[in-house]
Structure 1
């Protein structure tokens, strides 16, 4: 194994090229790697809910929750099941064993719910199955508020929604706090009586309209043509002119019997920003994209759209952002960079005081190089930079310099005894090869069991030992291959400069004596 040190020393130019390539690749990987807050893990849990308007909590438990629990209890891999009954609602939370087959279990849950649905009383709505996914939480919320009509804010929000969802990094931009438009028809009983129209006649006509009915196909000598009977409403005028009944020579329309208004549905929720009612756009990014770049792109698109508004609208509508996760991630990244620079400075100061300038520079070189190699490996594995990865890097700062310090100190001692720089560093790397490897291996053994930590906590914390394995393995390469070559080359350059200066000083002294 120590032969790799001799191989590297005999090919110093190639190793230096590898060092430059490692630094470039690591820097590129660090810039391009997605930055996230929490690791994107898959939670083995589902939540099944059923809405039933008007049902009491007691009846919901008896008529909805019990049938669901009976059918769902036989699912393979089910770890825990919790039922919840409330007014107008019933739900069952399902937790499965780690390592579940998501597609198969989803199919099994649908089959079980279809069987349970047959036992539901009439009036129950279609069940829904929801997953728990951290990546679907919004990374930034854009709020629109101001003293303008609600319809204007809704139109602006929908325009921004179309713009944001057209961006590649954005998965969706859900609108919260708005109300869907609806047509309100207020029936006048006196008019019904005046035109001799019963309520059943009116309801039957309305129910039979606003439909697009396919009437089959006509096959003729000129070709085949599909026939449809259009009876859908395109605007409120179609509703107003809907014929209800013929009264003599006159056709009684819905507008003759009722007052028709374009209004909004009842408010089911409210979005507020700084105490004011607002409409919010909750932006969710796609998996694998940089949260910092995505949030910056969202802010840029919103600013461009705002600049295209009329001047009066720009003054009246207040655009704000909140819950910006990119700021937290950017702060964590800057803290990591600051911690690395601080660690380099402190290690160099300590090494400078103990060993000298050249050893301090070489040991300081080991920290960022090991980190950059780690980022290159993370990019190859497709692992984003999260807070767990950052914590692992900061934790490894004090451990990855041990091998470099041992090799550099032993080489510096050999140089002081008259050994050439390259021979001294190669001898130091070969002499300390197995102690450094065994020391790093014992450190890794302490974190290796975390790779086999079961369940969701293990999946959440798995990137900590992976990061430590990558960065400490990279520190071995730096300490035993990169540093001997760098130390030998810099030592030769230093010796050449020293000899050159001594030669110049000797020549000047000779000329002065002459």
Structure 2
């Protein structure tokens, strides 16, 4: 019998070439598996650009008239713009621009920045606009810090834990349950009259040295003045040093004439657990972060931190989204191993040992080859790709059994093994391809889904 031509015939009659290709598939897949990112969802870009302008001390109405409305008029002409939303609040204007899918994000940021830079009618006291591309962060887990202590102590611990986790490699942490703080400055009327000062003079003096950030309210019975801070005066001790009266014979500081304290703003939402003050830390990873690596960082940190906590303070972990990913990976591995054992056991009952062994070898070979290709195209191990691999597991086994059984049947009829294998591969290539394409066709509608 003569040798047959074609790709299948070449690899059948050149065993070294076939084994070499399989070795490359195994090594390439192992390399990709070690280097690929592990995350909950596939990486996708958010086509959103944010513009933020701070105008200290301005009311929401002034911000809308002086900043938001004029900027919106200019930004409507940006190419690729799909939707624009804006918010005008006291002292700040925020504009969010969503672009059509496929828009170059770098070009979109440049176009928005150009329009903002060309806007020359910003109020004189407004700060330079900040134009940034909105980045996507994915949740890893949530920590709940609570205990029978003052909320200020919890606040201190939460900030300390935040710094520790960031230093260890967590990409981002959001804190919830901490009401905004303000500096309250109360000046007795008698003290002002004895010094010949008015509340407005004291407020103007403080405002002249403290700008940029809300710093609280100054009150004199029924009179109040809002203050802001830029020189990082964020504690009562810092405000006590502000000079309010200077002369040749007298020098008075704010701490000499006023009662200064730090307190929570009114109408703030607070968090409690079991009737005790609580603060939540939301741990997140960036687009390039590894969910399982972040989970390992969290577990190590918890093991180091929990034993050192006072008995009155507790630290709980919940909403561990990384656990879902780990469970899916465990499902894939367990299904693969159980499938491998079942295939080997059943095939050894009905087929020769060599055929059963090569069918079993095809499972890890195909999976590692897929991992290598996924890594080369910039993919990741996530819930979607793991679902696809689990779906493909049964297809791989079925196809290998069909080809192996056909080759064994022809070998039993007296055909040489090498030609039986070649003939089985050539006879089954189109039926196997057609059956695989039916599975692919079932998921084709996903190609028209955006994102």
The alignment's TM-score, normalised by the length of structure 1, stands at 0.68
Name the residue aligned to 1:435: 430
Label 1:125 to 1:96 Cα distance change in 2 as closer, same or farther (>3 A). same
- Aligned pair in 2 of structure 1 residues 274, 46: CA closer, same or farther (>3 Å)? farther
Counterpart residue number, 1:70: 73
Deviation of 1:161 (Å): 1.7
What's the CA shift for 1:179? 4.6
SS state at 2:47 partner: strand
Could you tell me which residue of structure 2 aligns to residue 45 of structure 1? 48
Q: 1:344, CA displacement in angstroms?
A: 4.2
Which residue matches 2:372?
376
* Deviating more after overlay: 442-451 vs 136-145: 442-451
Residue 334 of structure 2 is matched in structure 1 by 338
Match of residue 302 from structure 2: 302
Matched residue, 1:137: 138
CA deviations on 1:42-71 (whole Å, 9 max, x unpaired) are 132345577897547xx9988876545432
**Does the alignment pair 1:148 with 2:133?**
no
Distance 1:321 1:62 in 2: 45
- Answer 1 or 2: which has greater helix percent: 1
- The 8 Å contact of residues 183 and 262 in structure 2, kept in 1 or not, is answered as yes
Aligned-CA RMSD value: 4.2
Alignment CA distance shift 1:273-1:22 (3 Å): farther
Distance 2:432 2:110 in 1: 50
Which stretch of structure 1 is more off in the superposition, 342-351 or 413-422?
Answer: 342-351
Whether the 8 Å CA contact 1:27–1:372 is kept in 2: the answer is yes
Given the alignment, which residue of 319, 324, 331 partners 1:328? 324
Match status 1:421 vs 2:422: no
Aligned pair partner of 1:30 in 29, 33, 38: 33
Deviation at 1:444, TM superposition (A): 8.3
Alignment pair present for 1:407 and 2:403: yes
SS in 2 for 1:42: coil
Q: Structure 1 regions of 5+ residues with no counterpart? A: 212-230, 460-514
Change (3 A) 1:77 1:255: closer
CA positional deviation for 1:267: 6.9
Q: How far is 1:124 from its partner? A: 8.3
Structure 2 equivalent of residue 390 of structure 1: 386
**CA distance, structure 1, for counterparts of residue 207 and residue 138 of structure 2:** 40
Alignment of 1:206-217 (within 5 A): 206-209=206-209
Kept after mapping to 2: 8 A contact 1:160/1:302: no
Structure 2's unaligned 5+ residue stretches are: 212-230
Corresponding position of 2:358: 362
CA contact (8 A) 1:403 1:436 kept: no
In structure 2, how many angstroms separate the alpha carbons of the residues matched to 1:260 and 1:251? 18
Matches within 5 A, 1:107-506: 107-113=110-116, 118=121, 133-134=135-136, 136-168=137-169, 170-179=170-179, 183-209=183-209, 239-240=239-240, 242-245=242-245, 249-264=249-264, 268-273=268-273, 276-307=276-307, 309=308, 313-344=309-340, 355=351, 358-429=354-425, 431-432=426-427, 434-435=429-430, 439=434, 442-443=437-438, 446=441, 453=447, 457-459=449-451
**Cα distance in 2 for residues equivalent to 1:119 and 1:181:** 29
Aligned length: 427
Larger-Rg structure? 1
Quick one: distance in 2 between partners of 1:27 and 1:362? 20
